[in-house]
Amino acid sequence: MNSAQTPRVAFLASASSDAQEALQALVAEHGQHEPDEADVLCALGGDGFMLQTLHRHGALGKPVYGMKLGGVGFLMNQYQRQGLLERLRAAEPSVLRPLEMVAQTESGASVGSLAYNEVSLLRQTRQAAHLSIELNGKLRLEELICDGVLVSTPAGSTAYNFSAHGPIMPLGASVVALTPIAPFRPRRWRGALLKAQTEVRFRVLDPYKRPVSATADSHEVRDVVDVTIRESRDRVVTLLFDPEHNLEERILSEQFVV
């Protein structure tokens, strides 16, 4: 950030008592600005609150600096009240491009949403989902029988994708991961790495007997019959990280945990 001026900060906090206490202290010290008037947004909470902040304010195009005051903080910096302005000036940017999901439901509705981590399709009942997969209009998998399947961004690859045995991807790789969740047929299919520009289309083969939901980050759409996912062409967000613990380093470190 520009070191010649004091940045105008919009402080945003989750509902937790720790985050609310930090909010009051930081506003008292630095003042408060509305998000659309600020130079930077400072999100206080966990990764869930960071995603909420990106969904709510991402269209503003303002950089977001998070501080961990929640359970999971992969997208956050460590919380420290002192030296915030110096940390903001020294912070390194990580540019993220979300996925766009368009889901068609049994009722004929079309629902769109963005996902900074992943879009996941999951069975809604005890019966496995039956899905077909098309890539750029070409049928690649006629029938996948599974608990679900997801498409993950590099930033989200250490979250649900990694738990489902998907690959961890470095930032800037221009790829997304297509990862099955408990696949039954083909039993040994482990998914695929795709160019980020690939359009992925899932069709639910038996939506009435085997209903499926689609979730973009935390936005769930139930009873879907057709879901199309592509990288956003016009939406980007910038996260700010302390130089000693930036997002690229965190993603790398996750691959050497034993």
The yes-or-no answer on residue 234 being catalytic is no
Tokens 């903001």 sit at which residue? 88
Q: Which residues contact 9 (CB under 8 A, 6 or more apart)?
A: 26, 30, 31, 32, 33, 38, 39, 40, 41, 42, 84, 88
Please enumerate in sequence order all residues whose Cβ is within 8 A of that of 250, keeping only pairs 6 or more positions apart, or say none: 74, 158
Contact 241, 94 (CB under 8 A): yes
Residue stretches of the annotated binding site for NAD(+): 47-48, 117-118, 147, 155, 158-163, 182
Q: Which of 39, 47, 223, 226 is catalytic?
A: 47
From the annotation, which residues make up the binding site? 47-48, 117-118, 147, 155, 158-163, 182
Tokens of 138: 């070409």
Among 96, 210, 199, CA closest to 140: 199
- d(CA 119, CA 99) in angstroms, rounded, equals 8
Q: Is the dihedral of CA 207, 210, 215, 219 positive or negative?
A: positive
Closest by Cα among 112, 117, 119, 199 to 151: 119
Residue positions counted in the chain:
258
- Where in the sequence numbering do the catalytic residues fall? 47
